[in-house]
A and B are shown apart, each in its own frame.
Chain A
């Protein structure tokens, strides 16, 4: 019982003992005053619902994503002031809003305040501008109500986890020399040998197909002869190895050029899309930390429909914090790629530090190709070419934001 309540009760009791109704009145008023001043901090957060609805959990850089904030005061007591601190990863851009500083490291607060009547529901429509690549996580939400007659407040935190992944741009890939394939050799449309263990579906029967290749059940079901189709013994596998270190020096320095990091991500996404569209099995290897956990990324080469999404998601989650040196990544390639596969390295740094590793990969039977980017791209490409290694220059003109294509040149 608070001091005010004691005073109020005391006045009422004294009033009753002295038969002084005036004191009873004052005691009652004091008790009620105290009750009224702390009413909201005691009961304000009861039956208050807060929901956050994202229009989509994936977006591409430049998109706008709808964000609905839905709050409902499900009780008779009106709320003069309800504040919601919706914590989100710093850098999230909400139209017409700025994230307020918060006490959680690396997170800002999307603040919304309302005044709600009894059983009033308010849905606020906001728009998130995907201005930065990344994985933006939401939650927890801190709801605060304030008393009307005092400065007392009451807060509670609710877990409302959600994530918005902003993927990098992916652009068409063009070659300065149209006759040349974007990367490596042109793909052969047919394969001489098939792997009978890799069933890849059926196709209409063609004259000359061996009888054992007929799919009898499917033929019976379709009422026309169909033959089994198999994957080639060696499909074209390409592994994109991304060097996200943009500043020369030890990898642990955590210095980076933001523009170049973004440019590399855009280039990687563009190359992956092109390779997958051309039918190659594309994978990715990178030694950068991922938001949400993970020190490096490895996606095995695949041709499946979801592979591009996985690569884009991984690129979205990548942070410019290098967890493993690039040379170590190249050393790990033979364990992760079938011999004969293509290793496409992508970076802005001087390649002389890892040229030896590329040569070794070549000797192990891998095709290697380096895509040099950044201001010294031409110089770096020439250096590797002189060493007998395939290298090309990747350009995003004028920058990764406004470029209409990733141009590859010798």
Chain B
């Protein structure tokens, strides 16, 4: 697949930063433990070494399989450059003390390792490789951390600060690279460009939150200033921002250069100044001009900027129209944020006290039957909605309850007036039923 800078560039850059950050921790440990010196190189320098290798491999200038000797030489050269960053090493080398010079900056040779690692990043970044880097690399930092913390002060403090920042940079850049590489793979599978996929914003926020969640308490434990967390976070972000600025500024600088050349070619240049340089003039202008002298130039500059502005407006309008057309073409999809409905009830909470319900005391045959129903209601013998009093009484299977049901039916449905004795008998039946209720329930079970 063709390598595209727009889609794969950020992933590659982040992967290179992660490589550089990981090696920066190792480098710091080597420097403070073996070299017993303060670290001279950081994430940026090692990432640049890896990026140089990636670029050379990308351009086909470096091929370990086809031209192994060239590759070896380039790797040694990268290591040598890293080594010679140290002024002491350079001085000793100039003095002809090669062995002494090598001992001066041993960690610098890790630039060769960065160079080696960069070769693999010259091509498409595999999402699995990026995930592996961060998953294995994080616990893999334990060894240099342990080694570095064994060093004596003040080197230990220097190590902790550099390793802390580099570790955070490694985790944040590594996760972002892995995430973007995965989004790229998803895009290849589904035909969706990850740049149009807003989840990368979520990825960014998630990674930042995660690193912050660990970084802030860790900085407190390590006795480091909080700004070291920011430096760890901004490592990859700063790189990305710098990259974006570079992309914007380079063409602008190129256009400006072309314009300058063209204007100079047309003979547009300021005339000789009317007066000599004024001593103590603001901004230190060496010469002074009359307005008449610069009127033409100012007019030309004004017209030029008006032209630029018009051009920008035309470009923006064209772009907006195209975007609108594209939106119309994809109107087959509606996207919106739909928050779940939650009901917030304002008001004083109501305290529900348990109702103190007095047991209903029947006073005639009808109320005796209703009271009996109330007694049976909690159990399975309760009357069902579609049950008539008769069928219910049959189901209960108690003679007293059946007679209660008969009394109820006669009084309520038959319109018969029951005698006083009948009412009394009904009340007696209710009492006996109440006493026998447990046995009825157990029989039902």
**Residue B379, interface by CB 8 Å:** no
Q: Most chain-B CB neighbours within 10 Å: which of A23, A81, A149, A150? A: A149
Choose the segment among A122-130, A162-170, A385-393 that binds chain B (4+ C-beta atoms closer than 8 Å): A122-130
**Residue A399, interface by CB 8 Å:** no
**Residue B365, interface by CB 8 Å:** no
Query: Which of A26, A74, A124 interacts with B142 by CB under 8 Å?
Result: A26
Apart from A33-B135, A33-B171, A116-B199, what are 17 other A-B pairs with CB-CB below 8 Å?
Answer: A11-B142, A24-B221, A26-B139, A26-B142, A26-B145, A28-B214, A29-B167, A32-B214, A34-B135, A118-B337, A119-B340, A122-B334, A124-B332, A126-B332, A148-B182, A150-B178, A151-B182
Smallest beta-carbon distance A11→chain B, Å: 6
User: Is A148 within 8 A of B210, CB to CB?
Assistant: no
Residue of B nearest to A7 (CB): B139
For B214, the chain A residues whose CB sits under 8 A away are 25, 28-29, 32
For B199, the chain A residues whose CB sits under 8 A away are 78-81, 115-117, 148
Residue of A nearest to B134 (CB): A33
**Residue B153, interface by CB 8 Å:** no
Chain B interface size band reads: 35 or more
**Docked complex Cα distance between A262 and B213 (Å):** 66
Residue of A nearest to B178 (CB): A149
Smallest beta-carbon distance B330→chain A, Å: 10
Smallest beta-carbon distance B116→chain A, Å: 24
**Docked complex Cα distance between A24 and B218 (Å):** 8
Residue of A nearest to B190 (CB): A113
User: Is A150 within 8 A of B131, CB to CB?
Assistant: yes
For B202, the chain A residues whose CB sits under 8 A away are 78, 80, 117-118
For B197, the chain A residues whose CB sits under 8 A away are 80, 115
User: Is B335 within 8 A of A120, CB to CB?
Assistant: yes
**Residue B34, interface by CB 8 Å:** no
User: Is A26 within 8 A of B141, CB to CB?
Assistant: yes
| With A125-B332, A148-B183, A149-B179: A115-B192 Cβ-Cβ less than 8 Å | yes
Interface residues of A in 282-306 (CB under 8 A from B): none
User: Is B335 within 8 A of A32, CB to CB?
Assistant: no
**Residue A375, interface by CB 8 Å:** no
Interface residues of A in 15-63 (CB under 8 A from B): 20-26, 28-30, 32-34, 36-37
**Residue B443, interface by CB 8 Å:** no
User: Is A28 within 8 A of B218, CB to CB?
Assistant: yes
For B131, the chain A residues whose CB sits under 8 A away are 37, 149-151
Smallest beta-carbon distance A17→chain B, Å: 12
For A32, the chain B residues whose CB sits under 8 A away are 210, 213-214
User: Is A113 within 8 A of B338, CB to CB?
Assistant: no
User: Is A121 within 8 A of B210, CB to CB?
Assistant: no
Residue of B nearest to A35 (CB): B210
Smallest beta-carbon distance B33→chain A, Å: 14
Residue of A nearest to B218 (CB): A25
Smallest beta-carbon distance B83→chain A, Å: 26
Residue of A nearest to B202 (CB): A78
For A368, the chain B residues whose CB sits under 8 A away are none
User: Is A115 within 8 A of B198, CB to CB?
Assistant: yes
| With A20-B149, A120-B338, A122-B335: A29-B192 Cβ-Cβ less than 8 Å | no
Smallest beta-carbon distance A46→chain B, Å: 13
**Residue B206, interface by CB 8 Å:** yes
Residue of B nearest to A28 (CB): B214
| With A28-B214, A37-B135, A148-B182: A119-B141 Cβ-Cβ less than 8 Å | no
For A23, the chain B residues whose CB sits under 8 A away are 142, 145-146
**Docked complex Cα distance between A166 and B149 (Å):** 75
How would residues 106 to 120 of chain A score, 1 for a CB under 8 Å from any chain B CB and 0 otherwise?
000000010111111
Residue of B nearest to A33 (CB): B138
| With A25-B218, A115-B199, A122-B334: A20-B145 Cβ-Cβ less than 8 Å | yes
**Residue B311, interface by CB 8 Å:** no
Interface residues of B in 150-170 (CB under 8 A from A): 160, 163-164, 167
**Residue A4, interface by CB 8 Å:** yes
**Docked complex Cα distance between A120 and B199 (Å):** 11
For A126, the chain B residues whose CB sits under 8 A away are 332
For A227, the chain B residues whose CB sits under 8 A away are none
**Docked complex Cα distance between A312 and B339 (Å):** 44
